[in-house]
């Protein structure tokens, strides 16, 4: 016998944005239920004990963009959120040297001087420019994208605000912003730095989560996207969450529950129920139905609109736009349980290096060639990796004296020739270990357990289409008023009562919570409720 349940709002998916959305709506007095397919909340922000005693931040592994207003409004520290600093980034080089960015400014400057006196000077000026750029873009993060083709008063007000904001930029900053929006990360960095390894390491943040190389136009914007966490002044929340990334999701879920929201686990939604052009609820795999006048999807646009709705419920043009939406997965993950910490030949011993990130990006050519492999349908034979040792920062992640290592890896294309299978997955894992062993040869002797995740695995476990961590690439043609589709960037959808709040909406991916919050504010506006 199937059961029916009635709510004010149903949120599909218990990832961070779904939970943020539910928390804000519950706080405003709505009767909210979150339906999560898996046995735990978090989506791609989960901590799981994959190997006994070792906790992995399985997918997403650091936090930098979580919006201060979300942390504050939901009192996440009161619900257990603790963000621990990640101190440094060290890039081992092929010649046995290394490049380091340390927590201390003078120490980092001294390190840059070692590579290039010019670059050490540029480092300060570049930082200042990126700060201004981030300040210029920041108001947009907290804004519902106005439609530039619309004459509706709310759109005009938004456009006016935006126009005034950009008019206030100095010409120098406006030009720099234009360059950032159009150039490749590599070309943009060429204008600032001469040292190859500095450019390689910095440009790496321009390719994370995208199917672009450091020389692909548009990648410079992604640099800026990752810089955004830097502008929140003292509120800066950049680092590693105690207990792993899942602890962030748990804290948001705890906040949501404290406001009265229900979070149901192992409740996979099969489709959205649409009657007379209106969403009226959802159906679960077990046949149960949940009914509510408002349904919010936190899933990626393709999964929502192409799998959970019938094409007949949607305008054909919209379906085409969603089909065109670029969501190519480009990254994989290798998580290791280790009996000790690997020693990097460039900085022997166990030391400060292990407290921060290690970037496998020894040269621009290395990173670009890694992309070349992916372009032609292969995983990178010598991949780029961003490595951290969570157990060094939070000893609770592994048994005393033992460690966990997280390696975010590119490129692992979702569209690999012939499709992913177990053999290719392990070959990809081997390539990652080989790349790390080039600089830390003893890593092989320390591995107790290896978890390799391809984009296919990411999709199978989390449901993210093509395993794309941002629910769609952060390319200019699908940002702001174009995310996820022209005319539908304001968290609403062509189906009345159906809203979207995931990373596939403005302002995009990363553990930000902005989409979840902005969608909640729009829903409250439409239902005539107050926050």
Q: Are 233 and 80 in contact (CB under 8 A)?
A: no
The span of 11-19, 80-88, 246-254, 452-460 binding another protein (CB under 8 A) equals: 80-88
Closest CB 400 distance from another protein, rounded Å: 4
Q: Would you state the structure tokens that stand for residue 332, as one six-digit string? A: 């994989």
Residue 489-508 contact track with another protein, rule CB under 8 A, x = bound:
--------------------
CB of 130 to another protein, least distance (A): 13
Q: What tokens appear for 313 in the block? A: 């419920």
Chain residues 357-396 in contact with another protein, contact rule CB under 8 A: 392, 394-395
Shortest spacing between CB 131 and another protein, in angstroms: 9
CB of 29 to another protein, least distance (A): 22
| Interface with another protein: number of residues (CB under 8 A) | 28
Three-state DSSP state, 384: strand
Dist. CA 133–CA 143, nearest whole Å = 17
CB of residue 176 to another protein, shortest distance in Å: 16
Q: How far is the CB of 302 from another protein (least distance, A)?
A: 35
Asked if 330 and 412 touch (Cβ cutoff 8 Å), the reply is yes
The footprint of another protein on residues 245-284 (CB under 8 A) is none
CA atoms of 404 and 243, how far apart (whole Å): 12
Least distance to another protein, CB of residue 76, Å:
8
**What are the Cα distances from residue 118, in Å, to 98, 113, 122, 126, 276?**
18, 8, 6, 12, 65
| Cα–Cα distance for residue pair 361/436, rounded to 1 Å | 11
Does 171 help bind another protein (rule: CB under 8 A)? no
Identity of the residue, 95 or 106, whose beta carbon is nearer to another protein in the bound complex: 106
**Binding window for another protein (CB under 8 A); candidates: 144-152, 234-242, 438-446, 493-501:** 234-242
Out of 77, 277, 315, 351, the residue judged to bind another protein by CB under 8 A? 77
**Should residue 232 be labelled a site residue for another protein when binding is judged by CB under 8 A?**
yes
Determine the Cα–Cα distance for residues 379 and 332; give it in Å rounded to an integer: 10
Nearer to another protein, 172 or 307 (CB): 172
Distant-in-sequence contacts of 480-487, Cβ < 8 A, 24+ apart? 480/140, 480/145, 480/506, 480/507, 481/145, 481/146, 481/147, 481/148, 481/506, 483/145, 483/507, 483/508, 484/301, 484/321, 484/322, 484/325, 485/301, 485/318, 485/321, 485/322, 485/325, 486/321, 487/147, 487/149
Binding status of residue 190 toward another protein by CB under 8 A? no
**Nearer to another protein among residue 9 and residue 511 (C-beta):** 511
CB of 196 to another protein, least distance (A): 27
CB of 287 to another protein, least distance (A): 43
In the complex, least distance from residue 170 CB atom to another protein, rounded to whole angstroms: 11
Q: Which of residues 87-126 bind another protein (CB under 8 A)?
A: 87, 102-104, 106-107
Contact letters for another protein, residues 395-424 (x by CB under 8 A): x----xx-----------------------
Which one of 3, 4, 53, 72 is in contact with another protein (CB under 8 A)?
Answer: 72
Please report how close the Cβ of residue 347 comes to another protein at its closest, in angstroms.
15
Q: Is 84 in the site for another protein (CB under 8 A)?
A: yes
Q: Please, which residue, 241 or 263, has the CB nearer to another protein?
A: 241
Among 29, 68, 148, 260, indicate the residue that binds another protein (CB under 8 A).
68
Task: Determine if 340 is a binding residue for another protein (CB under 8 A).
Answer: no
Strands 289-291 and 278-284: antiparallel
State which residue, 394 or 466, has the beta carbon closest to another protein: 394
Rounded to the nearest 5 degrees, what angle is found at the Cα of 518, between the Cα atoms of 517 and 520? Answer: 65
* Residue at token pair 């257990």: 80
User: What does residue 337 show for φ and ψ, rounded to 5 degrees?
Assistant: -95, 125
Q: Which stretch binds another protein (CB under 8 A): 51-59, 235-243, 318-326, 424-432?
A: 235-243
- Strand ranges in 59-201 using DSSP code E only, listed in sequence order: 83-84, 89-92, 98-101
Rg (alpha carbons) of the chain, rounded to whole number: 23
Closest distance between another protein and the C-beta of residue 84, in Å? 5
Classify 518 as helix, strand or coil: helix
Closest CA to 103 of 348, 394, 393, 396: 393
Asked if 495 and 313 count as a contact pair (C-beta separation under 8 A), the reply is yes
399: its two tokens:
């048994």
Q: Whose Cβ is closer to another protein: residue 348's or residue 400's?
A: 400
DSSP state of 152: -
Mapped onto helix, strand or coil, the DSSP state of residue 180 is helix
Nearest by Cα to 89 from 219, 227, 201: 201
Which residues contact another protein (rule: CB under 8 A)?
68, 71-72, 76-77, 82, 84-85, 87, 102-104, 106-107, 135, 231-235, 237, 242, 355, 392, 394-395, 400-401
């Amino acid at each position: 016998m199937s059961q029916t349940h009635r709510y004010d709002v149903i949120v599909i998916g218990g990832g961070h944005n779904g939970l943020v959305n539910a928390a804000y709506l519950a706080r405003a007095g709505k009767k909210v239920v979150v339906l999560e397919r898996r046995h735990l909340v978090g989506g791609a922000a989960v901590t799981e004990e994959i190997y006994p005693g070792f906790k992995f931040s399985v997918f997403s592994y650091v936090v930098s963009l979580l919006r201060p207003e979300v942390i504050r409004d939901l009192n996440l520290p009161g619900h257990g959120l603790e963000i621990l600093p990640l101190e440094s980034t060290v890039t081992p080089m092929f010649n046995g040297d290394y490049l380091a960015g340390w927590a201390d400014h003078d120490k980092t400057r001294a390190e840059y001087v070692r590579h290039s006196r010019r670059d050490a000077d540029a480092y300060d000026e570049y930082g200042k420019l990126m700060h201004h750029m981030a300040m210029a873009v920041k108001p947009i993060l907290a804004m519902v994208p106005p439609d530039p083709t619309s004459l509706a008063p709310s759109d005009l007000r938004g456009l006016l605000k935006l126009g005034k904001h950009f008019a206030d930029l100095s010409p120098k900053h406006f030009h720099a912003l234009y360059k950032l929006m159009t150039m490749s990360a590599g070309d943009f960095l060429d204008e600032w730095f001469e040292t190859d390894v500095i450019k390689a390491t910095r440009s790496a943040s321009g390719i994370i989560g995208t199917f672009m190389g450091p020389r692909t136009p548009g990648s410079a914007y992604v640099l800026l996207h990752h810089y955004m966490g830097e502008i929140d002044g003292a509120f800066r929340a950049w680092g590693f969450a105690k207990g792993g990334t899942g602890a962030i999701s748990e804290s948001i879920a705890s906040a949501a529950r404290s406001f009265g929201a229900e979070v149901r686990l192992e409740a996979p939604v099969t489709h959205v129920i649409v009657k007379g052009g209106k969403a009226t609820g959802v159906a679960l795999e077990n046949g149960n139905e949940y009914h509510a006048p408002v349904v919010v999807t936190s899933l990626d646009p393709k999964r929502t609109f192409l799998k959970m709705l019938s094409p007949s419920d949607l305008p054909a043009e919209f379906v085409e736009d969603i089909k065109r939406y670029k969501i190519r997965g480009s990254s994989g993950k290798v998580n290791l349980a280790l009996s000790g910490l690997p020693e990097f030949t460039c900085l022997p011993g166990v030391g400060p290096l292990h407290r921060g990130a290690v970037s496998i990006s020894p040269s621009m050519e290395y990173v670009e060639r890694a992309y070349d492999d992916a372009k032609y349908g292969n995983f990178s034979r010598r991949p780029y990796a961003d490595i951290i040792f969570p157990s060094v920062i939070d000893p609770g992640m592994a048994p005393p004296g033992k460690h966990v290592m997280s390696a975010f890896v590119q490129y692992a294309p979702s569209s690999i020739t012939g499709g992913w299978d177990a053999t290719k997955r392990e070959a990809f894992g081997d390539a990652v270990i080989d790349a790390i062993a080039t600089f830390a040869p003893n890593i092989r002797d320390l591995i107790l357990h290896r978890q390799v995740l391809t984009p296919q695995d990411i999709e199978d476990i989390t449901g993210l289409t093509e395993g794309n961590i941002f629910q769609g690439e952060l390319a200019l043609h699908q940002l702001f008023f174009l995310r996820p589709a022209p005319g539908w960037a304001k968290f609403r959808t062509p189906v009345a009562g159906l809203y979207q709040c995931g990373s596939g909406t403005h302002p995009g991916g990363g553990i930000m919570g902005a989409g979840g919050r902005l969608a909640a504010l729009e829903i409250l506006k439409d239902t005539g409720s107050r926050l």
